[in-house]
Amino acid sequence: MHNKHACYFFLILILGTAFFGCCPTPDDLPFFIEKDRAALVAATQDLVRVPSVQGEAADGAPAGDEVAQALDAALALCEGMGFKTINLDGYIGYTEYGTGADYVAVLGHLDVVSAGNPDDWTYPPFSGDIHDNAIWGRGTQDDKGPILAALYGLKAIKDAGLPLSKRVRVIFGTMEEETGPDVSYYRSKEELPIQGFTPDAYFPVVNAEKGLIRFDLSGTIGPQTGDLAITSITGGSAINAVPAEAVAVVHASDANAIAAACANFAQATEYELSAAVDGNTVTITSHGLSVHSMRPESGKNAIMQLLAFLGSLDLPPSDLSAVLDFMNTYFGMETNGDSMFGQVYTTDAGTLSMSVDLVTVNETSAKFSVDLRFPGGIDGDTQIRQPLLARLDETGVGLAYEEWEGASTPLYFDPATPFIQTLMGIYQQFTGDITTQPLSIGGKSYAQELPNMVAYGALFPDEAELFHQVDEHVDIEDLILSAKIYARAIYELAK
């Protein structure tokens, strides 16, 4: 303690007492961030230059050599600041400052998604170079810039000598992008924080994240009889994307009549549907609009457009016609689950969303894969799973429900809680933005990996979101501003 005070008085002499009447206060934290402006920029550049896309696991490098290199570099930076560091077998690492029984955590990640084709970038994706007062490269926004901004926030608290009652950890995850076991490894080895934030999303603060359930509805189907039969239905490309295209092959004695019906249906509904006739075979193609399944209401579901048309045909009764009826009745073009659940599940934390994203039907089986997200205030078991199973039961349609791995429960903090109020207040103080409200998102952030944690920055409302995109870059002023916000936030949570 004595040494620290000696250093601290020395620092005051160097910087000049003009800056501080007496001792630094929390209001002086921005000064300490400004003092490290060049260092924060350089550290971000250095870390961006490590192309830490998750790769093949190696000895002591479960997320691959490049990610291990990024983790080593980040921890070396922390040691250079005088912080202690721990590397948990390459899965995850952290730095810790302060004393106290409890700790608050900042959880970010060092892995990045692929840069895609480097030729698509204005500047090379791992250059970390500065152009137009911005640092360019993969990871500048997601999430190397933000986690370093938080680290320099902690350094500012240390440099200012502000007393804290709790310890602070900055935790460097390595497997966020591919949702690997980095944080579960941490949870198995370490005590848990009492509170914290992840700088891996948006300002002002994300107080609500939806729960996620993905499931298949599948079953075997008997033969179709008569002069009209569906040979196959395929569509969709991923479980998290509203399908852009779906195709059905229909066998009909009067194929031209089916093609004409398709044209009429397309005109009446304004769905983009087309039919190609080849003898007794009609191939019907549906084009939709693909968007992320976290907001299916802004897309157009090609699969459900196609099923709507097939359902409008005079199909002879069969297992498949019953399945199509079920899908059209309880999913249809709806995205809010109204028909399935008997009511719209809307709470303060948002509205339920549901999207049929994949389909495979052939002459003996049918399978649909659904992405469902539900807001805080809704119970996944009693309000989602049980009603769904009951619906399948009562209709006797013969589809089995099977859930995918990785279901999650919603995250929700009332905006009135002191935790959210504190983070909002700091954001407002530093930005002057008092209109943007706490955010509710359909996606799942790193905040769900540790208790009592929310996503807090680092993307500002007026900043272009370039996560996972070509030409990812961060404006240096935004980076510095986020560091000032993080310094104060860490201080307020740990004081």
| Closest by CA position to 468, among listed 165, 140, 212 | 140
Q: Do the Cβ atoms of 187 and 331 come closer than 8 Å?
A: no
Q: Which of the residues are catalytic?
A: 111, 176
Residue owning tokens 């539900």: 374
Q: If DSSP codes are grouped into helix, strand and coil, which group holds residue 414?
A: coil
Q: Which is nearer to Zn ion, 143 or 334 (CB)?
A: 143
Q: Do the Cβ atoms of 478 and 141 come closer than 8 Å?
A: no
Please list every residue from 129 through 148 that binds Zn ion, using CB under 5 A.
142-143
The helices-and-strands tally (H runs, E runs) of the chain is 13, 24
Peptide bond into 255 cis (omega under 30): no
Q: How far is the CB of 28 from Zn ion (least distance, A)?
A: 31
Q: How far is the CB of 39 from Zn ion (least distance, A)?
A: 23
Q: Which is nearer to Zn ion, 142 or 371 (CB)?
A: 142
Q: In what order do the strands lie in the sheet with 473-475?
A: 130-131, 134-136, 473-475
Q: Which is nearer to Zn ion, 142 or 449 (CB)?
A: 142
| Closest by CA position to 85, among listed 67, 103, 93 | 93
Sign of the dihedral through C-alpha 305, 407, 181, 135: positive
Q: Degrees (nearest 5) of the Cα angle 95, 99, 104? A: 60
Q: How far is the CB of 198 from Zn ion (least distance, A)?
A: 8
What DSSP line would sit under 247-296, residue for residue?
Answer: EEEEEETTHHHHHHHHHHHHHHH--EEEEEEETTEEEEEEE-B--BTTSG
Q: How far is the CB of 222 from Zn ion (least distance, A)?
A: 47
Q: Do the Cβ atoms of 384 and 372 come closer than 8 Å?
A: yes
Q: Which is nearer to Zn ion, 144 or 300 (CB)?
A: 144
Query: How many residues lie near Zn ion (CB under 5 A)?
Result: 3
Q: Which is nearer to Zn ion, 137 or 235 (CB)?
A: 137
Q: Which is nearer to Zn ion, 112 or 324 (CB)?
A: 112
Q: How far is the CB of 62 from Zn ion (least distance, A)?
A: 18
Q: Which residues, including other chains, have CB under 8 Å from residue 381's CB and lie 6 or more apart? A: none
Sketch the per residue contact string, 264 through 303, with Zn ion: x for CB under 5 A, - otherwise.
----------------------------------------
Q: How far is the CB of 142 from Zn ion (least distance, A)?
A: 4
Please list every residue from 181 through 200 that binds Zn ion, using CB under 5 A.
200
| Closest by CA position to 282, among listed 273, 291, 290 | 273
111 touching Zn ion, by CB under 5 A: no
Q: How far is the CB of 112 from Zn ion (least distance, A)?
A: 8
**Hey, which residues does 411 pair with through a beta bridge?**
209
Provide, for the chain, the percentages of residues in helix, strand and coil under a 3-state DSSP scheme, each rounded to the nearest 5: 35, 25, 40
- The contact set with Zn ion (CB under 5 A) reads 142-143, 200
